[in-house]
Amino acid sequence: MIHDILAQLDNGISALQTLRYVDTVQPFFYRFGLMGYDEDTYDALYWVIIGVLEIVVTYAALRPLEALRPVEAWHDRKAVRADVIYTWIAKLGIVNIAFFFILQPLFDHWQSLMAIYDVPNIDLESIWPGVTDQAVVSFLIYLVVLDFFGYWYHRWQHRFGVWWELHAVHHSQQQMSLWADDRNHLLDDMIQAAFFAAVSLFIGVQPTQFVVLVAVGNFMQSVQHVNARLPYGWLLERVIVSPAFHRRHHAVGYGHEGTRYGCNFGVLFPWWDMLFRTASWNRTIEPTGIRDQLPAPHGAARSYGEGVIAQQWVCVRAHRDASARKTFPRRWRDGLSAGDASNLKS
């Protein structure tokens, strides 16, 4: 049944893709002599339509929750405007799909060499014939495998100084919202797109599966950043990453500081945090952001910029002082009282 629904959805998107291409893109390309790019553009249009639909669905599902059950009440939503721009850039998926197709010939060549020299090929769908080769089952397998790599990718972002400077653009948002997931440095986006495209090709993900995998992952991560109280309960929050679990990762003094460079690195599933002992289930609502944004004496009152261009430029400047990346005392690792945490912004 799920397979039939997905097939119908795919047919509907393909029909819209053809309609938009014939009515809008093709006449434009013909008028300006760009027909040499028509095939690649037609393929990319599928991804763009998926991205637009994803933004519409995400906003329709999550914005009412933010209005009805906010974690924090905001008097000024100006800080969210840049995140909306990031979301449109990221959700259209041009960077992701570009790296996927750019790397495809390279992996095809490697697979040919593996066949010539009789090197075993990685085929996750053949693990359990009749089961793992079912569309829904293989999709879930790919989702879990990619999430495992996503966990380690996320930990590396916090572990290495230069990489952290890029990732800090994401953590500098002090007002979590449904738009916050896509607030990233564009260079970091390109590195991430290349990484996951390579992993996806290596484990045998097909282009159509890749599009859906990215779309599902993006939606789940938007839910994690939402400014809404969503009670997952003890069991569900140990199955998928909840907003409370991920908010802990963004909390000043908890999520990305300390001996392990933080906690709750899981992208979609908290299993890896549980397995590698980086999980924190504390639901206390703490201020979010980066310590050096705070006023003295708790921070350096550093500005990460209000607009997209300013935020992209911050990490290009000199690296943050070593004191801003140092391992903090035990009281920061083990957690502050709610009163102490609230004083950080005063």
Query: Rounded to the nearest 5 degrees, what angle is found at the Cα of 148, between the Cα atoms of 146 and 154?
Result: 95
pLDDT of residue 177: 95
pLDDT of residue 261: 65
pLDDT of residue 257: 61
Residue bearing the bigger pLDDT, 101 or 262:
262
Residue bearing the bigger pLDDT, 43 or 234:
234
Query: Closest by alpha carbon to 330, among 248, 250, 259?
Result: 259
Which amino acid type is present at position 203? I
Q: With bands split at pLDDT 50, 70 and 90, how would you rate the model's confidence at 345?
A: very low
pTM: 0.81
Query: Closest by alpha carbon to 113, among 103, 104, 121, 123?
Result: 121
- Six token digits for residue 206: 């097909």
- Six token digits for residue 279: 């999980």
pLDDT of residue 321: 45
pLDDT at 10 over 60: yes
In angstroms, how far is the first alpha carbon of the chain from the final one? 54
Residue bearing the bigger pLDDT, 88 or 103:
88
Distance, CA of 189 to CA of 267 (rounded, Å): 15
pLDDT of residue 119: 67
Q: What DSSP designation does 23 have?
A: I
Which range has the worst mean pLDDT, 4-13, 174-183, 330-339? 330-339
- Based on its alpha-carbon atoms, the radius of gyration of the chain, rounded to whole angstroms, reads 22
Residue bearing the bigger pLDDT, 161 or 315:
161
pLDDT of residue 330: 38
Which amino acid type is present at position 148? F
pLDDT at 180 over 90: yes
The C-alpha torsion from 43 through 48 and 54 to 56, rounded to 10°, is -140
At residue 121, what are phi and psi to the nearest 5 degrees?
Answer: -95, 145
pLDDT of residue 336: 37
Which range has the worst mean pLDDT, 13-17, 106-110, 311-315? 106-110
Q: What DSSP designation does 228 have?
A: S
Q: With bands split at pLDDT 50, 70 and 90, how would you rate the model's confidence at 206?
A: confident
Q: With bands split at pLDDT 50, 70 and 90, how would you rate the model's confidence at 133?
A: confident
The listed range with the strongest mean pLDDT (34-38, 51-55, 90-94, 331-335) is: 51-55
Q: What is the pLDDT of residues 106-129, one digit of tens each?
A: 777 777 777 787 766 677 777 777
